[in-house]
Structure formats: structure tokens, C-alpha cells
Amino acid sequence: MKFLSYDSPFGQLMMKLCYSCCLNILWFLCCIPIVTIGASTTALYYTSLKIVRGEDHALTRMFFRSFRENFRQSTVLWLILLAIGGLLASDGYIVYHLRASSTGAAAVLWTLILALVIAAAVAYTIILLFVFPLVASVSNTNWAMLKNSFFIGTHYLFCTILVFAVHFAMFFLVVSVFTPLIIFGEGLCALLSAYLMNNVLRACAYDPEEEGAPEAGGDI
């Protein structure tokens, strides 16, 4: 039956769903200590990009290879982003309630401050979406990773919107529609995002002087 064969579109779809399920389990288990979320997410995107590029061999080995190689940088970036995220959340909560309890000129002032907090949260989200896939693709300093993630996310805004929509849709489906979809969870989100980000990350990692040589930061 050609429809059920390995090379058929249906067979490839089922294989990718199995990959996403396995990756989701690996990602979740490696995120349990909380502090390792950054390294786990980098490994997830490293492996997802490999799958997108047709190098989907030994997923577990590729995942833990990236986890080890990028552990230090990914963990530092994650702790930085975690602290910034906590600061933005607390500021947003405080400013929102101050605005709600104010009137007149004070309400206008708190509204402007709230708008700045929201703008900062949008920038933060853009960085969060791209920083770990970028770590999985290239080598650079922590500051350059954060800065480039923002510039890439704003330059390729349509890609950013689609990647955000993928994550939001999965969250909505798991919470409001069919909770068992959590078995695919972040694994499927990363795989779909890798399809969307692949050309963008290739363009960012391309160095004409090193054409034909392995790219830094992992064999991608």
C-alpha cells in the first residue's frame, strides 16, 4: 500500500509527528531542573533544524550533544531572560493596578508607562523566540545573541508572527480544546518553527569566506 509506505506524504507526516513527540519528551525531562530550560530548548531547536534539513539520524544523540555543547551559554542566556521576564511581569502588574486606581493626569502618565512596558514585553518575546534557535545555529557572544535575536525577529517580522502563532495555537489547543495534545507540545512547536526559521537562520549563519566549511555552533 503506497499510501502507508515510508516515503509517502502520509508516512512522512506520521514520522515527523513521532519525532515531535519524542523531542517533546526529551525537552520536558531536561527542563525539570528549571535552570536547564535554556540548554534543553537549544538542543530541541538544534535537533528540529536537523530534521528539517534531512539530517534526522540518532535524534537522542543529537539532542544531548547540543545540550552538552551549548549548556553554558544557553543557561546564562536563560537566567538573564528569566530575570528580565520576572521584572517585566512585576512591573506590568504594578503599573496596571496603579493605572486602574488613578484618575486625571496620573492615569494618563501610568497609561504611557504601561505602553512602554508592553513595548518592552513585545521586544522580550521576539528575543525569546529567536535566541535559542540562534544559539543552536551560530557561535557568538551572549550580548550579540540577544541583540541579533531582536534584529532578526524584527527584520523577518512575518516569520516572527507565524512562530508566535504556532506557540499560541498549541497553548490554546492544549488548555481549551484537547489537553492530550500536550504529548506533542513544544516538540511540535519547535519542529514547525524550524521549518519557518530554517532559511532565515541559514542566511544569518552564511559566511562566504567559509563556504563549504562546517558552521560554528553545531553541525547544522
Over residues 120-162, the pLDDT tens digits come to 999 999 999 999 999 999 889 999 999 999 999 999 999 999 9
- Cell numbers at residue 61, please? 544523540
| pLDDT (tens digit per residue) in 149-201 | 999 999 999 999 999 999 999 999 999 988 888 999 999 999 999 999 998 88
Answer for the pair 129, 210: CB distance below 8 angstroms, yes or no: no
**pLDDT tier, 8 (very low <50, low <70, confident <90, very high otherwise):** low
Closest C-alpha to 20, from 57, 47, 41, 42: 47
CA atoms of 162 and 177, how far apart (whole Å): 20
